[in-house]
Amino acid sequence: MAEGAKPTYETVNLNAPMPNLENLKKQAKLILRWHRERYYPVAAQIRAALPRYRQLSDPQILALKFKLADAQEMVARQAGFEGWQALKSGIDTMPQHANQTATKALISATAAELFVADIKASCDFFTQKLGFSIVFVYGEPPFYAQVKRDRGLLNLKRMDRPVIDPALRDRESLLSADMGVDTPEEIKQLFLEFQAKDVPFFQTLRNEPWGARTFIVKDPDGNLLLFAGPAE
């Protein structure tokens, strides 16, 4: 993949109930294709599902030969079976979707995209200061990455020059990401956690007129990250 290109892999919930064997076969083929294309997130899924890969790193997993039978075993184990043959025999016991003719697609996740100057420096900030973990890092040298904390996802894209006027961003409080928690206690706890780690704040914790409690973090590239929860 050329530098600057963004991975364009379709997202599949490998743990979702599947209505028939044909869909499970498609899942296995998709996993096999991801492995062949060295899509780093699939390495973590392989490691979690197949015991023989438990001690291997992502690059090691992606460098090994991986066959359709391996992908099928992975799908079977994620569905609660010992192997593909056991899954085929027990497919009728798997939960079925109540409505297999659903007409509306469900968006199951969203991720903001931040433009950064240095992928490693940005990953270090999010993992060491904000408590995120790395989902994947792509490229050599790296030019794209994803980090997550709980259900919050952030994509990091390396750029050679700023794409937003820093003065305008600060003057207008132009946010790059908006993440939320569910309770007043959590938003206060999160603020105190970041404060203890000397995280740079663009705005400290405050109550908003619309009933939220928010604070804004500024990352090393100047991106403004809003964290919000309900006010007390």
Q: Which domains does the chain have, with CATH numbers?
A: 21-92 (no CATH), 111-230 (3.10.180.10)
Burial 175-185 (b: 16+ CB within 10 A, else e): ebbebebeeee
Per-residue pLDDT, 151: 87
Q: Which residue has the higher pLDDT, 27 or 224?
A: 224
Q: What is the 3-state secondary structure (H, E, C) of 90-154?
A: HHHHCCCCCCCCCCCCCCCCCEEEEEECCHHHHHHHHHHCCCCEEEEEECCCCCEEEEEECCEEE
* Mean pLDDT, residues 207-224 taken together: 94
pTM for the model stands at: 0.59
Q: For residue 100, is pLDDT > 80?
A: no
pLDDT digits (tens, 9 = 90+) for 35-44: 888 877 788 8
Per-residue pLDDT, 9: 38
The candidate with the shortest Cα–Cα distance to 158, out of 173, 172, 141, 175, is 141
| Residues 6 or more apart in contact with residue 110 via CB below 8 angstroms | 153
Q: For residue 23, is pLDDT > 70?
A: yes
DSSP letter, residue 163: S
Per-residue pLDDT, 89: 81
Output the six-digit token pair for 50. Answer: 């197949």
Q: For residue 49, is pLDDT > 90?
A: no
Q: For residue 64, is pLDDT > 60?
A: yes
Coil, helix or strand at residue 158: strand
Per-residue pLDDT, 92: 63
pLDDT band for position 16 (cuts 50, 70, 90): very low
Per-residue pLDDT, 87: 83
